[in-house]
Chains A and B, each alone.
Chain A
Amino acid sequence: MALSKEDLKKAIVEKATKSPKPQLYIKDFYACDPDAKPREIKNIANEMVREGLLMFWSSGSTTMYAIPSRIQNEEK
């Protein structure tokens, strides 16, 4: 990884905040640090879900990530 863990988290939050659509695929975060391995990005994204910085959105067949405040809750 070229970025530190904290810088990578910031880059992911920025990407997820500025993206046109609220839901992003895990691959969309790869560009945040091209030197990081896909599994490293995945592990950090999942850590961010545990911390509440990101949220999972699942269609059932595919899972995406989103900033909680941007995601539409179907129940509201």
Chain B
Amino acid sequence: MAKHETPLLDELEKGPWPSFVTDLKQQAETKPEVWDILGQLELSFKDRITHWKHGGIVGVFGYGGGIVGRYSDVPKQFPGVEHFHTVRIAQPSGLYYSTENLRALMDLWEKYGSGVTNMHGSTGDMIFLGTRTENLEPLFWDLTHDLKQDLGGSGSNLRTPSCCLGESRCEWACFDAQEVCNSLTQRYQDEIHRPAFPYKFKFKFSACPNDCVAAIARSDFSVIGTWKDNIRIDQAAVQKYIANDPEYPSNGGSHKGRDWGPFDIQAEVIDLCPTQCMWMEGNELKIDDSECTRCMHCINVLPRALRPGLQKGASILIGAKAPILDGAQFSTLVVPFVEVNKENDFEEVVDVIEKVWDWWMEVGKNRERVGETMQRVGLPTFLSVMEVEPMPQHVKEPRSNPYVFWKEEEVEGGWDRDIEEYRRRHAA
């Protein structure tokens, strides 16, 4: 029996799609405090303002992250959500859970919280939504001692690193994303659990340029697999695709649900290459690999014929963020290739990370993401801090984005600068 009338929320149950309102009503049958979520949200819809108070001093002892305080500003009306703290649970690399582990986590959350979850938050953690302050320490104890799991990052911490499935399932993986993700999670425990930075900082690891975890869009430090040498071509398999052999469906058969007509390598692969670096020479598919930008389209369409090269590693891109301040931005390519090597504890990746942190902790303003700091100081300054030589791939749009400036000593013969002559043509 509903505790509150929710006519506005009820509208959200009428579409053909799944509704969180229906889910919450179902959950309220066993967790009565969930009625108060619906009641408070209905009130927010009427008042057109949130009734959550955000943030505070709650947490677990020794940790400066992992718990996000939430309080109702109308607790007398909705006592079930007087405290409604969020708990972030660090996810396993590649999001591999056993059903036994998932059941144990859900039992834990039914015991100490509302049972409402978000699978998963945009950082990657499993999110437990809604518990009281007095439940936090017992929950943390059971989580860490019985389930051997940990809280994730929040606040101005290193957020829980996340990665794709990598080599565990994917033939295109150019490095072991799960290994590096887990290794750096262990290495930077202090940065994950205690605030270290001017603002949040996220790592994400995608083992190939398909970037299944969207590292380029969602992480301050995006590590994306790539290769140095040439795409491997199996010309016999190319012929099978051209011949429309049913054992060789394009895109690995992922579009089989509809008749798209016969496969056309010219229209579906060669003409769609963004750098036009592919062509047919007789029956042979040719690629000018020096022009390849690793878009992965040809490999995705012809998975049995084309494969990444053998000299594998990763590109490091820095500075993505969501649109809170200046608007969303992607990471910028900074280091085109590093080795991602377990044998040396991923030292090439670690060197770049710590160089960025040392600089950003000093230069970054409060609540400024590293991508915003990069924009503020300019890419040439950032590249010189990183000790990276500017290269054409750093230039997003030639002439409209001329952020590589030559110094006189860098140009053979130098130049004479006549400022008066320049000002005759360009007013100050």
Contacts and interface: CB of A to CB of B under 8 A. Distances in A.
B416 interface: no
B342 interface: no
Given A38-B361, A71-B57, A58 B69 contact: yes
Contacts of B190: 46
B64 A56 contact: yes
Contact of B86 (A60, A63, A75): A60
Given A27-B198, A38-B361, A58-B55, A63 B65 contact: yes
Contact of B64 (A58, A59, A66): A58
B292 to A, nearest CB: 38
Interface string B254-288: 00000000000000000000000000000000000
A29 to B, nearest CB: 12
A4 interface: no
B213 interface: no
Q: What class of interface size applies to chain B in its complex with A?
A: 35 or more
A58 B56 contact: yes
B155 A61 contact: yes
Interface in A17-76: 25-28, 37-39, 42, 46, 49-50, 55-63, 65-66, 71, 73-75
Contact of A75 (B59, B133, B154): B133
A71 to B, nearest CB: 6
A57 B68 contact: no
Nearest to A26: B195
Interface of B: 53-57, 59, 62, 64-65, 67-69, 71, 83, 86, 133, 154-157, 190, 194-200, 358, 361-362, 364-367
Interface of A: 25-28, 37-39, 42, 46, 49-50, 55-63, 65-66, 71, 73-75
